[in-house]
Amino acid sequence: MERGIIPRKIKGFRDIDASLNELRQHIIRSASAVYRKYGFEHWDTPVLEYADALGKYMPDEDTVDQGVYNFRNPEEEPVAGTDGNELRDADAKAIMEHHALALRYDLTAPLARVYAERLWQDVKRKQIMETNAPLFRRFQYGPVYRYELKLMPGRFREFWQLDFDTVGTNDVAADAEACIILAEAMEAIGLNRGTYVVKVNNRKVLKGFLASIGVTGDQEEQGVLRVIDKLDKIGWSDVEAELGTGRTDSSGAAVPGMNLHAEAIGRIMRFLRSATGVSSRKSVLGELETAVAGNNLGMEGIAELKNMDALWAALGFDETRIIFDPTLMRGMAYYTGPVFEVESLLTFKDEKGKERKVGSICGGGRYDGLVEKLLGLKVPATGASIGVDRLAELLRMVDPAGVTAKGPVMIAFFDDDLQTQYYRIAAELRQAGIDVEVYCGFFKGFRKMNKQMAYADAKNCPAVILLGADEAAKGVATVKNLKLGKELALTTFDKKEWNAQVQKEVPLGNLVEYILGLPGMK
């Protein structure tokens, strides 16, 4: 059989219709305005980057591994050495290569690249050092790409993030501010207070605690963090099992355990539970303080949290908006200090009527080691990211009616002789700031009136302007209010009467004024 062309999308990628775009823009506009208010400037970066600049990904050969889309650059370019000079072979010829490229998997790694790229030369010249690394605050939104093996509803391979980050400070005031910004952004977007909560923890506290009970080494530490991260998914007893000998899940598959000593497991579980159900930030701090007493790193983490708490308290951000949660881990390994997450407290019923949580809609934290990997200079940074699509889904559930895109005012096409007039009226209305479309579907049969009306209806147009020979002779246009028509359809069943109520003849001279005066036109 011959190979055919089937119109279709790549798995995990979506088409975004007018309504979803509307929602997306609403989220981006509202949150960006908050970011701007705090001094963040708007940047964009390419979706495609050199794979090695995106972090620790150095894909060997052509393998797509670890969830990243990568490609070979069609262009051959010289390979650089650690000093930035071209590598040369025995004959002094530059070594050329098709470099590995990757689609960005978040907006944080490109930020580190932007920052490092600007300073790289100066760092080499020792003009920039840890003590004078510049402060940089930017927000950025756009699509990111992950090669997810398993796609679940609400999980895509292309999705949008909306990030804001502060690079160049180790003051946790920046972290505290990030949490405040997240809370304000949620409310600007339209989430009511009490339907979300910003949860905050500090990796230093847990790391210090683990060190004090003898769990050391990156491998083991990461393992414990990963297990704890699953707490809200698998529950207390399964976490305990995975720290120990492992467990068998509901499908019968064996989940290997960490094989920690019973003593250590007991202390970890006690530590995690210590602050559960404790409502005030101050008492959580108290519980944690006794748990990590004597460990330097742990105490440092507590001090940072205290600092943040003081700022929030001074600005009136109490536990209705920001809480401490010692079980919060975040998956990313690069976080080094405070981590935060916004959880939606709303629930919804799935198709089977099962009550489900919306869960995490934003995440972030401090990553003091990320820039260092690219720049060789330790530059601390912190920031957070809003999951735009996750949030869009949430808003759709909260207010399904409020998320349809508004269409243009439509001018119906009756008569070829009046065509120029249609376009003149359209131009005049546009001048007044109104979105206008002159109907131009000219295929056979498609100029029929009911076709045109159905088109306007499907596009959610607020009004249709009807101007035929009759109207032209009188110097008027018939304006039909589709919005009103939709409402009256529920109570009026006679066609003639229905039409009479939603249509009005308007002198052409008053058209702009009349349209602007329609409800919802603004």
Beta bridge partners of 438: 411
Residue 180 or residue 464: which is nearer to RNA going by CB? 464
Nearest-approach distance from CB 348 to RNA, in angstroms: 13
* 150 part of the interface to RNA, by CB under 7 A: yes
- Window 353-412: residues binding RNA (CB under 7 A): none
Residue 267 or residue 480: which is nearer to RNA going by CB? 480
Residue 426 near residue 433 (C-beta atoms within 8 A) = no
* 9 part of the interface to RNA, by CB under 7 A: no
Which of the ranges 84-92, 156-164, 195-203, 326-334 carries the binding residues for RNA, by CB under 7 A? 326-334
Nearest-approach distance from CB 375 to RNA, in angstroms: 16
Nearest-approach distance from CB 303 to RNA, in angstroms: 26
Residue 267 near residue 215 (C-beta atoms within 8 A) = no
Residue 306 or residue 504: which is nearer to RNA going by CB? 504
Among 503, 504, 512, 514, binds RNA (CB under 7 A): 503
DSSP E strands in 79-156: the ranges are 96-103, 136-145
Nearest-approach distance from CB 350 to RNA, in angstroms: 8
Which of the ranges 184-192, 300-308, 327-335, 425-433 carries the binding residues for RNA, by CB under 7 A? 327-335
Q: Give the binding-site size for RNA (rule: CB under 7 A).
A: 63
Nearest-approach distance from CB 309 to RNA, in angstroms: 27
* 105 part of the interface to RNA, by CB under 7 A: yes
* 126 part of the interface to RNA, by CB under 7 A: no
Extract the tokens encoding 390.
């996750």
- Window 56-85: residues binding RNA (CB under 7 A): 56-57, 66-68
- Window 437-496: residues binding RNA (CB under 7 A): 445, 448-451, 453-454, 456-457, 466, 468-471, 478, 480-486, 489, 492-495
Among 180, 185, 342, 502, binds RNA (CB under 7 A): 502
Among 71, 120, 348, 498, binds RNA (CB under 7 A): 498
Nearest-approach distance from CB 423 to RNA, in angstroms: 18
Nearest-approach distance from CB 447 to RNA, in angstroms: 9
* 45 part of the interface to RNA, by CB under 7 A: no
Residue 56 or residue 193: which is nearer to RNA going by CB? 56
* 149 part of the interface to RNA, by CB under 7 A: yes
Beta bridge partners of 457: none
How many alpha carbons fall within 13 Å on the CB side of residue 484?
A: 15
- Window 259-318: residues binding RNA (CB under 7 A): none
Among 10, 90, 152, 314, binds RNA (CB under 7 A): 152
In the sheet with 436-438, reading across from the earlier edge strand, the strands are 436-438, 409-411, 463-466, 476-481, 503-507
Q: How far is CA 159 from the centre of its chain?
A: 8
Nearest-approach distance from CB 250 to RNA, in angstroms: 4
What separation in angstroms does the CA of 172 have from each of 207, 208, 209, 302? 18, 18, 20, 12
Task: Provide the angle, in degrees to the nearest 10, between the axes of the packed helices 281-292 and 262-274.
Answer: 160
Residue 65 or residue 318: which is nearer to RNA going by CB? 65
Nearest-approach distance from CB 92 to RNA, in angstroms: 36
State the DSSP string of 186-226: HHHHTPPTTSEEEEEEEHHHHHHHHHHTT--SHHHHHHHHH
Residue 314 or residue 401: which is nearer to RNA going by CB? 401
Residue 7 or residue 194: which is nearer to RNA going by CB? 7
Instruction: Count CB atoms within 10 A of the CB of residue 196.
Output: 23
Three-state SS for 331? coil
Q: Which helix (H) or strand (E) holds 256?
A: strand 254-256
- Window 228-267: residues binding RNA (CB under 7 A): 230, 233-234, 242, 249-253, 255
Nearest-approach distance from CB 498 to RNA, in angstroms: 4
CA–CA distance, 396 with 394 (Å, rounded to integer): 5
CA–CA distance, 148 with 157 (Å, rounded to integer): 6
Helices (H) and strands (E) in the chain, counts: 18, 18
Nearest-approach distance from CB 400 to RNA, in angstroms: 17
What DSSP character marks residue 43?
-
CA–CA distance, 467 with 471 (Å, rounded to integer): 6
Phi, psi of 246 (to 5 degrees): 95, 180
* 35 part of the interface to RNA, by CB under 7 A: no
* 125 part of the interface to RNA, by CB under 7 A: no
CA–CA distance, 42 with 44 (Å, rounded to integer): 7
Report the candidate in 177, 198, 256, 258 with the shortest Cα–Cα distance to residue 224.
Answer: 258
x/- mask, RNA, residues 159-198, rule CB under 7 A, reads ----------------------------------------
Nearest-approach distance from CB 496 to RNA, in angstroms: 8
Nearest-approach distance from CB 19 to RNA, in angstroms: 16
Q: Which helix (H) or strand (E) holds 324?
A: strand 322-324
3-state secondary structure 448-507: CHHHHHHHHHHCCCCEEEECCHHHHHHCEEEEEEHHHHHHHCCCCCCHHHHHHHHEEEEE
* 332 part of the interface to RNA, by CB under 7 A: yes
Instruction: Name the residues that contact RNA, by CB under 7 A.
Output: 11, 54-57, 66-68, 105-106, 146, 149-153, 226, 230, 233-234, 242, 249-253, 255, 331-334, 414, 445, 448-451, 453-454, 456-457, 466, 468-471, 478, 480-486, 489, 492-495, 498-499, 502-503
